[in-house]
Chains A and B, each alone.
Chain A
Amino acid sequence: MKKRIAALTVALSLSMFGAAAVSAQAPATAAAPQATATAAAPVQAAAPPAQATGATQAAPAPNAAAKVAAAPAKGGAPAKITPNRGITIGMFALIIAVTMGVVVWAAKKTQTASDFYTAGGGITGFQNGWAIAGDYMSAASFLGMSGLISLYGIDGFMYAVGPMFSFIAILLVIAEPCRNAGKYTLGDILSFRSSPKVVRGVAALSTVTVSIFYLIAQMVGAGKLMQMLLNIPYRVSVIGVGALMVAYVVFGGMKATTWVQIIKASLLMGATTVLCLLVAIKAGFNPVGFFTDVVSNSAIQEHVRMNVLKDVIAKPGVDYGQRFLEPGLFLKNPLDQISLGLAWALGAAGLPHILMRFFTVPSAKDARKSIIVALFLNSSFFFMISVIGFGAALYLTPQAISAVDKGGNMATLLLAQHMGGGPGSLGGDIFLAFICAVAFATILAVVSGLVLAASAAIAHDVYVNIIKDGKADQQLQVKVARITSLFVGTSAIVMGLMAEKENVVALVALAFAVAASGNFPVIMFSLFWRKFNTAGIVSGLVVGTISALALVMVSPVMTYPKKIAADAKKVVETLEKKQAGGAVLAEKEVQALEKSRAEYVKNKDGKSMVGLDAPIFPLKNPGIVSIPLGFMAAFFGCLLFRERRAEEMFDEIDVRQNTGIGIAKAADH
């Protein structure tokens, strides 16, 4: 039965991609960015709040027109990336077939709740390390980060430090204690010595909030990526990706999700290593020579001067090439950077889908090992991505990269095509198709983990432990978990379809801010503070979550129609002035003029989602305010309502988390 369903899903998704690819020969421009806010960084937006900082600066609409006016378009043809359809679809099919094989194999072994949520605790530390590393290597870091580096130099590289460093907090204070004290979910850790029902309810709510925000952002990113790569319509790709993700989780549970993640992480590491090596060979393994070439490259110099700094006339004494290796081209507000840094350093440790991974290994020692493996893999990955980014800038020029996608998201793909032998060559086609397929696998693997985390919170915390008082047999638990996953996955598809024009950057910023301000403080206090209790958990989670949500809602990452209208008006005025001056507008300028006029009319009376004309809170990342608020709320809430039982039970959680005595019994298997 399961086999048949899996086969059906493969057939369905394949036919969908096939049909879409053939039918969607529509002009590429139709698929091109519509809403400036979202289009600026569809892929990188799926990254943690990192990208939040720049998405709006990356490609503001008016500059597009200004650029057109300033730099004559080369040959007039719109630049785009053209993967070989046959080879690419073949690679996609191969990946779907292999992962579906994993699902069928895992489905047979998934009988108990423990199998479903944690693969029966039977993943080794090494395997889990690859899976965790895979959770960090999202399409955002793979495509977005190299693009950012290729367009903004060292500022892009600075983004890589946050995700890499986030492992330290996880390694030192989260992974081992959570493995020792927890079972399947965040609720299990928090409800240890507090009123279980209340705490589980709030923890489940927080987990679902974080996972869903993150999930929708990934779905929207997936839709846009497939649209850009293969001209598959947005809707079709969201439904296709969604159907596969649901199949992975519902049938294969954690085991399939983990193995899909491991497979994709190895493919990604392999592809990145090859690409990085090709760049290194081309540069003669000489870093000084490589960077000398970068700073003396006239295309890069011109890009920095014209497109980034907008110095129409070169300022005397400024070395625009060297400027590429200096900070400040992309990251402008230091306070925002610090806030973002904090969100990374703490938020990743509060992400439910990362937390869940510690329960898949048999002991704290394995949890430790998995984080160290993940740290090694990711730091080498991010380092190689930086080489790819600078290599793309040097060998392809930032102009060519931003011509294909303003946010630079296609840099890695273009470089692969270039290094494989260039567009149209067999090597180029194969390499490009391979990288596209890997990017696709990446999205699938990441979204599956998120669906699993959200459905575990609903099925395990809410249904089994609140509604059923923990009294549900294994068969029923697995059945409920599967139904919940189906439900969560379907909702994610629907929300992904509705969120096409939403600002995904805001969604990711939200997920991270909530994880850092709500989840992290209460996990820390639960593990390390004797007096901590129910009131502290509830107030910490509620205040942390709400303050993070509220600050993002009034922050600059939201869309402010009046601002868009004002920008559009500027474009209209500039171009009309040019027209009035007797100049004949180029076709692109006429288009820009019409688009801006329409945009102005559409947005001139609009307000942001919460009814504002302009942001109230100046930072894009609320962490610097909301994290202390979360900690304080947890602290004072706990002191306000003392609870003797919680204090008495501290010894138990303290002994457990430090020694692993009574570890969530391997009893389940």
Chain B
Amino acid sequence: MSEKQQWEAIANHSKFIELKRKKRNFLFSWWIISTIYYLLLPVISGYFPEAFRVKVIGPINFGYLFILSQFVMAIGVAIYYAHVANKTFDRLTKQLLEALQ
């Protein structure tokens, strides 16, 4: 088998297709969701600054909490991703490699 056919064979392997589909669905949807949430920050602070001024606890306002929530969001996405990748993606990859042996 030529090298090219080898790659093609793996690319058409059912396990590989499953791995790739799961990975892309997960990664791209979370990437897009988190980016939209992130871009809300300049959009709200720029176009709706009064929302940022709403006091929540004492002098601490919505703006400050919203910025903090960005940190929470990023860490949350990272932890969730690490969890899914360690559990699902790595397992599927391992299974694929075993099937190819």
Contacts and interface: CB of A to CB of B under 8 A. Distances in A.
Interface of A: 154, 157-158, 160-161, 164-165, 167-169, 171-173, 287-288, 291-292, 294-295, 321-322, 325-328, 331, 333-335, 337-338, 340-342, 345, 365, 368-369, 371-372, 375-376, 379, 382-383, 528, 648-649, 651-652, 654-655, 658-661
Contacts of B82: 368-369, 372
B16 A171 contact: no
Given A288-B60, A321-B59, A337-B42, 14 more contacts: A157-B64, A161-B70, A168-B35, A168-B78, A169-B31, A328-B45, A331-B46, A369-B82, A376-B78, A648-B4, A651-B7, A651-B8, A655-B7, A655-B16
A110 to B, nearest CB: 32
A295 B57 CA distance: 13
A382 B10 CA distance: 44
Nearest to A383: B71
Nearest to A322: B59
13 contacts: A161-B67, A164-B74, A168-B78, A172-B27, A172-B28, A172-B30, A291-B58, A326-B61, A341-B41, A345-B38, A379-B74, A528-B24, A658-B23
A88 B39 CA distance: 42
Given A291-B58, A334-B47, A654-B11, A345 B35 contact: yes
Given A173-B31, A337-B42, A325 B59 contact: yes
Nearest to A334: B46
Nearest to B26: A172
A341 B39 contact: yes
Most buried by A among B57, B71, B79: B71
Interface in B7-56: 7-8, 10-11, 16, 19-20, 23-24, 27-28, 30-31, 34-35, 38-39, 41-43, 45-47, 49, 52-53, 55
Given A368-B82, A375-B74, A331 B43 contact: no
A347 to B, nearest CB: 13
A35 to B, nearest CB: 30
Contacts of A654: 11, 20
Majority DSSP secondary structure for residues of B touching A: helix
Interface of B: 3-4, 7-8, 10-11, 16, 19-20, 23-24, 27-28, 30-31, 34-35, 38-39, 41-43, 45-47, 49, 52-53, 55, 57-61, 63-64, 67-68, 70-71, 74-75, 77-79, 81-82, 85, 90, 93, 96-97, 100
Nearest to B75: A379
Nearest to A345: B35
A535 B63 CA distance: 45
A658 B16 contact: yes
B42 A340 contact: yes
A436 to B, nearest CB: 28
B36 to A, nearest CB: 11
Majority DSSP secondary structure for residues of A touching B: helix
Nearest to B79: A372
A258 B63 CA distance: 37
Contacts of B20: 654, 658
Contact of A659 (B47, B63, B96): B96
A566 B87 CA distance: 63
A167 B96 contact: no
B49 A327 contact: yes
A168 B34 contact: yes
Nearest to A662: B7
Nearest to A658: B20
B52 A327 contact: yes
Contacts of A335: 46
B97 A327 contact: no
Contacts of A287: 60
Contacts of B79: 372
A303 to B, nearest CB: 16
A368 B87 CA distance: 13
A345 to B, nearest CB: 6
A295 B58 CA distance: 10
Contacts of A292: 58-59
B3 to A, nearest CB: 8
Given A368-B85, A659-B97, A158 B67 contact: yes
Contacts of A369: 82
Contacts of A167: 74, 78
B7 A652 contact: yes
B7 A658 contact: no
A57 to B, nearest CB: 15
Given A652-B4, A654-B20, A660 B60 contact: no
Contacts of B75: 375-376, 379
Contacts of B49: 326-328
B31 A660 contact: no
Given A167-B74, A291-B60, A338 B42 contact: yes
Contact of A661 (B8, B39, B97): B97
B11 to A, nearest CB: 4
Contacts of A327: 45-46, 49, 52, 63
Contacts of B34: 165, 168
B87 to A, nearest CB: 12
Contacts of A171: 78, 81
Nearest to A326: B53
B64 A154 contact: yes
A105 to B, nearest CB: 32
Nearest to A162: B38
A346 B41 CA distance: 16
Give 9 closest A-B pairs by Cβ, nearest first: A334-B46, A337-B42, A651-B11, A652-B7, A288-B58, A327-B45, A651-B7, A295-B59, A291-B59
